[in-house]
Structure 1
Amino acid sequence: MPSSGNSYKVRLLLALLDQPVQTIDVEYGSDTLTQAKAETRLPFGKAPVLELDDGTLLPESNAILVWLGQGTRFVPKDALQQAQMLSWMFWEQNQHEGVIAVRAALLNYPHRKAQATPERLAELLTSGNGLLQIMDDHLRMRDWLVGDDASLADLCLYAYTHTAEARGGFDLAPFPALRDWLDRVAALPGYVAL
């Protein structure tokens, strides 16, 4: 799904790994999405899904990241750092995405407009600023979320954070460490934009 941060994080990792992939776009309302659902190509009813060479379908963006990231520089070798990386990835799906991405969806997807009440948008803005503050506080002391190099956690959280301002209406000016981190991710060799 080209507009999805969850799909983007997978494309970003593949680009950073210089790994070719064939993609099939299943944007909201498209015939390809309807067809993919009818053919049960989306086990959980949503994108992204990675189809492995043997035909196995692997849904969920962060599971795909872990699968593709094994043995690469994006998964720390240290067991504690791996667990810390996973903590950030679970937090992204459990806390961050449900606020940052949802606010952007309400503002940008026509089929979600009815849910974009002023009260709901204000609630998401307040919650989102709190989540962005958690990231900014953490990044004040380090360049990356875990360890001394970019990890899957950085790619995972970058996906919706880097569009929080343009798509979600968040003001990132109060978060200087977060903004610097966004620049570091965008400067990674092989980086591709959403």
Structure 2
Amino acid sequence: MKIYGDKQSGNSYKLILVTSFLEIPYEWQNIDTKKGETRTDSFLQMNPNGKIPILILDDGRILSESNAILNFLAEGSDLIPNDSFERAKVFQWQFFEQYSHEPYIAVARYIRHYLGIPEERRAEYESKQMGGHKALQVMETQLEKTPYLVGDHLTTADISLFAYTHVAEEGGFDLSSYPKILDWIKRIQSLERFVPMKSF
């Protein structure tokens, strides 16, 4: 099994976390998005959408989209609830991550941390702040009620949201205003087989 990803990508980091938590063996194939490696003919044959991460199974089947891969890898584990309603809540948080969280926090992080907020992207960066804080407040509200996003144990919902939330300050988001999120981050970091983003 091979995972194609970029070490600076939160979406790729989700898969690093789940494979570590579940002790799933794989081969890492590094893709440098800054060098255009997702736009090569060979990569586009694997994923016409030209995005990472992608998973290639031993039999050659290919799966893209980080949360789809995450849930596939976690199938049958405690990271995906057996209860149909709780499972739907996991998916609810993952849709939230892709539509209401990642477009603001991950993009702001990219503009600030990797590009240094060039003047031509300053307005875009500033526009991401409001949406990012709204997403963080939604998470904070839930984490005031439960230790994890879907109840009292880790699920793939937490892995999905952890990836970019724990580095949100690199996008200019002050997490000190969100004490429950900070507690949640520490809770995940203290789990057995946790691996830091910077270490892979």
1:103-157 per-residue CA deviation (whole Å, 9 max, x = no partner) reads: 011113349846521x322221122111101100110011010022100000000
**What is the alpha-carbon distance in structure 1 between the residues aligned to residue 105 and residue 13 of structure 2?**
15
Tell me the amino acid that sits aligned with residue 174 of structure 2: D
Q: Which has the larger displacement, 127-136 or 82-91?
A: 127-136
The structure-2 alpha-carbon separation of the partners of 1:39 and 1:45, relative to structure 1 and needing over 3 Å to count, comes to closer
State the Cα deviation string for residues 74-123 of structure 1 (Å, max 9, x = none).
Answer: 00111100000000001100110000001011113349846521x32222
Structure 2 residues without counterparts, runs of 5 or longer: 1-5
Match of 1:127 among 123, 127, 131: 131
**1:81 partnered with 2:86:** yes
Percent of matched pairs sharing the same residue:
36
Q: Which residue of 1 aligns with 2:111?
A: 106
Aligned: 1:178 with 2:186? no
Residue in 1 that maps onto 2:63: 58
Q: Which one of 46, 56, 59 corresponds to residue 51 of structure 2?
A: 46
Distance in structure 2 (CA, Å) of the matches to 1:38 and 1:90: 26
Cα distance between partner residues in 2 of 1:28 and 1:172: 28
Whole-angstrom distance in 1 between the partners of 2:41 and 2:63: 14
Partner Cα distance (2:132, 2:43) in 1: 35
CA 1:130–1:38 in 2, change beyond 3 Å: closer, same or farther? closer
Shift in Å at residue 37 of structure 1? 4.6
- Kindly tell me: are residues 46 and 115 of structure 1, through their superposed partners in 2, closer, same or farther at Cα, counting changes over 3 Å? farther
Would you say how many aligned residue pairs link Structure 1 and Structure 2? 192
In structure 1, what residue type is equivalent to 2:163? A
Q: CA contact under 8 A between 1:97 and 1:160: conserved in structure 2?
A: yes
Distance in 2 separating the partners of 1:67 and 1:99: 26
CA RMSD of aligned residues (A): 1.9
TM-score (norm. length: structure 1):
0.92
Take 1:62 and 1:36, find their aligned partners in 2: how far apart are those partners? 24
> What's 1:145 paired with?
149
C-alpha distance 173-19 of structure 1, shift in aligned 2 (>3 A): same
**Following TM superposition, by how much is the alpha carbon of 1:30 offset from its aligned partner in structure 2, in angstroms?**
3.4
1:26 pairs with 12, 24, 31, which one? 31
Cα pair 1:3 1:27 within 8 Å, conserved: no
Structure having greater relative contact order (Cα 8 Å, sep ≥ 6): 1
State how far apart, in whole Å, the 1-side matches of 2:86 and 2:76 are: 14
